[in-house]
Amino acid sequence: MRIVVLGLSLASSWGNGHAVTYRALLKAMAARGHDILFLEREVAWYAGDHRDLPEPDFCRLHFYQDLQDLKRFAGVVHGADAVIIGSYVPDGVAVGRWAKAAARGPVAFYDIDTPVTLARLARGDREYLGPEQISEYDVYFSFTGGPTLERLEREFGSPAARALFCSADPEAYRPLETAKRWDLSYLGTYSEDRQPTLERLLIEPARRMPERRFVVAGPQYPTDIDWPANVERIEHLAPADHPAFYNASRFTLNVTRADMIEAGHSPSIRLFEAAACATPVISDVWKGLDQLFTPGEEIVLARSFEDVEAALSASDEQARAMGAAARRRILAAHTPVHRAQTLERELAAAIRRKDMIRQERPMQTPFAAPHAAKTILVAGGAGFLGSHLCDRLLDQGHRVVCVDNLLTGDMANLEHARNRPNFEFIHHDIVQPLPASLAEREFDEIYNLACAASPPLYQADPEHTMLTSVMGTLHLLRLAERTNARFLLTSTSEIYGDPEVHPQPETYRGNVNPTGPRACYDEGKRAAETLSFDYDRMGKAVVRVCRIFNTYGPRLSAADGRVVSNVVSQALSERDITVFGDGSQTRSFCYVDDMVGGLIALMAYEGAQPGPINLGNPVELTVNELVETVLKLTGSRSQVVRRPLPIDDPRRRRPDIDKAAEVLDWRPATPLEEGLRLTARWFDAEAGHLRNDPLPEAVGA
Ligand code: NAD
Ligand code: UDP
């Protein structure tokens, strides 16, 4: 398997138990032929001298700066057979969300700190895991077994919670010919909650058995502890010295943190390491321990001084027999190879489950589907562009849900879609919180096209236009986050305002008048872009943003006031053709079929965040030239009448589409004359009844 692991640290074991765990597990996985990439956040504490394994020889290790930088690895995460996110990964919630969105295979959570995690969740702390993510991860591997696993599945909805304990490498931790220096040892950093047990099971026995020798190794013990004279203190014991330490102990003590005792079934690595050294362990008592080691044979359970005293009075032979039995148990069940086998088995099962889910999704249309069928939300799907998009997605075999308030859209645009079994229409204004029929649904993709696009129409209710872009986009982004859907925003060339750079590349930041009559649209879309990229940056959703340049074609509403629909319908009905200003202003017009292809290509783009992408046809012409072309095509005898130029009407506009060509391999294919002919034919056939309807005047003039 190709596995990507995002963990706290592999390179540095400094002050964390994670690196040791990952090293043992991943080394064993690599030895079984798996290809592993470990991605580690660059953190000052784990850098420099603290990096004790900068170049592991069993897997690839790359560092990343932050979530944005991590997105460089989107391709490999996508291609991986499985992805594992560990507990305590910085920005773990966002990293997990991003991985879920980017990965094709199962994404597992590996909790090396389950009791801590659950305590954090209980107090609303989401430092590295949100409660809702537990059901989203395909497997929850946990250092804690037993009833906690059932809780993770039943209470939090994990599809598969599995124990994946730590382990001990029996090569590194093995019996040595070492003289015994201590009757009872303890290895562990000071911790307040363990101290009373240490007091009862080691310090108290030391006081009452002055003839025996004891040792406590580990840092951070307060200076005011009154150590008996027969308790040796070792402030720091390097990991390499742990085997010798255990081997020099007749018995060693295992003391468990309070939260791990409460959860039960949470063996510490020290327990396994000491046992692997064949050092008999005296342990505090907690649920599940007897399933790991047989009490009295492989381990001693102690509650009191008397229990310890009795254990220490065992003969050397009895102690050796217990140690040997403990090591046999390690060799039989708790080596890194055992953990690798568990991981391998569970990941393979998760992959199978995921594949089965994919296969179970039925093909729901007679049309050939080039991709697996998805459930796709199209906001603004009753509009001009949105309805064409719905048709195309349905043709591809997807299930399409359209949400629209019919402000500028029309159910007539959905005439084809409505009769298809995979199509559903929900009447709703996205400025308002989404109804349960949407908010509780699962979607693979969300296209946001909802927003009046014609200047007279979007200026008719500017407040609503602004809120549609801001609140509407926010509502849809939240839905994308919850349901793990990819999100595409249709932004606009209007965000360049009246451009001073020509043609307009995506790097141009625009020249928008923020207080003019067009601002409700332009600034609303700019804010929608900001929200979208923030969601992406925060790892809440994979977001795509295109900036659409003037697009035309069948289903443009003859009443919506845009230039192509106005001019074509005016020409067909032999009415005066309204040219605003002197007609020297330019636009570049893209045919709708080309545009829909661009939207789908952008949504499907799997690489790292490409930033905003212009979609449009770079063939630029003046409004006068457009009118001439339409008059010629239609043979109309309409006269041109001049109207005042609307306020802030951009003087020129032409997309630089190099980025779309490079990133998406997308270019418009329909020549203007052909597109206009198709549009005119549609208007003539479908919109003939509008011929005598009044057309809107220019606004803001
Ligand atoms: P359109 O007006 O035909 O379609 C917009 C659709 O959104 C309509 O069906 C309308 O009823 C719906 N809508 C509007 N506000 C809504 C709300 N608050 N809640 C739910 N539905 C709402 O416009 P279009 O040309 O199809 O444009 C689609 C998208 O593409 C728009 O977001 C627009 O900004 C963008 N765009 C279009 C062009 C273009 O030339 N067509 C250019 C740039 C950007
Ligand atoms: N226009 C025009 N006559 C019309 C409608 C529009 O001359 O009946 C002009 C408008 O002033 C603008 C260009 O055509 O310069 C394109 O306008 P449209 O409303 O289609 O879209 P915009 O690109 O301005 O958003």
* Matching residue, tokens 């043709």: 395
pLDDT of residue 364: 33
Distance from Cα 576 to the centre of ligand 2, integer Å = 15
Q: Which of 521, 535, 552, 591 is catalytic?
A: 521
pLDDT of residue 357: 65
What confidence tens digit (pLDDT) does each residue in 330-368 have?
A: 999 999 999 999 999 999 999 888 876 655 444 332 223
pLDDT of residue 625: 97
Q: Write the single-letter amino acid at 137.
A: Y
What 3-state class would DSSP assign to 123? coil
Looking at the CA of residue 406, tell me the nearest atom of ligand 1.
Answer: 11
Integer-rounded Cα radius of gyration of the chain: 34
Distance from Cα 676 to the centre of ligand 2, integer Å = 16
Ligand nearest to the CA of 429: 1
Nearest CA to ligand 2 atom 6: 563
Nearest CA to ligand 1 atom 15: 451
Distance from Cα 456 to the centre of ligand 2, integer Å = 10
Is 22 annotated as catalytic?
no
What confidence tens digit (pLDDT) does each residue in 28-74 have?
A: 999 999 999 999 999 888 888 788 898 999 999 999 999 999 988 88
Looking at the CA of residue 521, tell me the nearest atom of ligand 1.
Answer: 34
Distance from Cα 411 to the centre of ligand 1, integer Å = 14
Ligand nearest to the CA of 493: 1
Q: Which residues of the chain have pLDDT under 50?
A: 360-371, 689-701
Smallest CA-to-CA distance from 145 within 256, 266, 260 is with 266
Cβ–ligand 2 contact at 623 (below 6 Å): yes
Cβ–ligand 2 contact at 495 (below 6 Å): no
* Matching residue, tokens 């997605």: 393
Pairing state between β 423-427 and 35-41: unpaired
Burial class (CB in 10 A: 0-12, 13-18, 19+), 128: buried
Distance from Cα 666 to the centre of ligand 2, integer Å = 26
Beta bridge partners of 233: 216
What 3-state class would DSSP assign to 113? coil
Nearest CA to ligand 2 atom 5: 563
Ligand nearest to the CA of 561: 2
Ligand nearest to the CA of 701: 2
Smallest CA-to-CA distance from 217 within 169, 193, 192, 184 is with 184
Domains and CATH numbers, the chain: 2-163 (3.40.50.2000), 182-333 (3.40.50.2000), 369-686 (3.40.50.720)
What 3-state class would DSSP assign to 235? coil
Ligand 1 mutation pick, 388, 431, 451, 551, max ligand atoms within 8 A of CB: 451
Dist CA 527 CA 539 (whole Å): 18
pLDDT of residue 697: 38
Distance from Cα 450 to the centre of ligand 1, integer Å = 5
Ligand 1 mutation pick, 401, 449, 544, max ligand atoms within 8 A of CB: 449
Provide the sign of the torsion angle of the four alpha carbons 338, 340, 343, 344, taken in this order: negative
Dist CA 46 CA 325 (whole Å): 38
Nearest CA to ligand 1 atom 17: 429
Beta bridge partners of 301: 283
**Ligand 1 site, CB within 6 A:** 380, 382-386, 404-409, 429-431, 449-453, 468, 472, 490, 492, 548, 550-551
Cβ–ligand 2 contact at 550 (below 6 Å): yes
Dist CA 390 CA 449 (whole Å): 11
Cβ–ligand 2 contact at 290 (below 6 Å): no
Q: Which residues contact 499 (CB under 8 A, 6 or more apart)?
A: 508, 510, 511, 650, 652, 653
Nearest CA to ligand 1 atom 34: 453
Distance from Cα 563 to the centre of ligand 2, integer Å = 5
Nearest CA to ligand 2 atom 21: 562
pLDDT of residue 362: 41
Looking at the CA of residue 583, tell me the nearest atom of ligand 2.
Answer: 7
pLDDT of residue 79: 80
Dist CA 406 CA 669 (whole Å): 30
pLDDT of residue 688: 53
Q: Which two tokens stand for residue 367?
A: 């049309």
Distance from Cα 449 to the centre of ligand 1, integer Å = 5
Smallest CA-to-CA distance from 619 within 582, 594, 593, 653 is with 653
Dist CA 665 CA 220 (whole Å): 60
Cβ–ligand 2 contact at 638 (below 6 Å): no
Cβ–ligand 2 contact at 579 (below 6 Å): yes
Q: What is the DSSP string of 406-462?
A: -SS--GGGGHHHHTSTTEEEEE--TTSPPPHHHHTS--SEEEE--S--SHHHHHHSH
Distance from Cα 568 to the centre of ligand 2, integer Å = 13
pLDDT of residue 15: 72
Cβ–ligand 2 contact at 469 (below 6 Å): no
Looking at the CA of residue 455, tell me the nearest atom of ligand 2.
Answer: 19
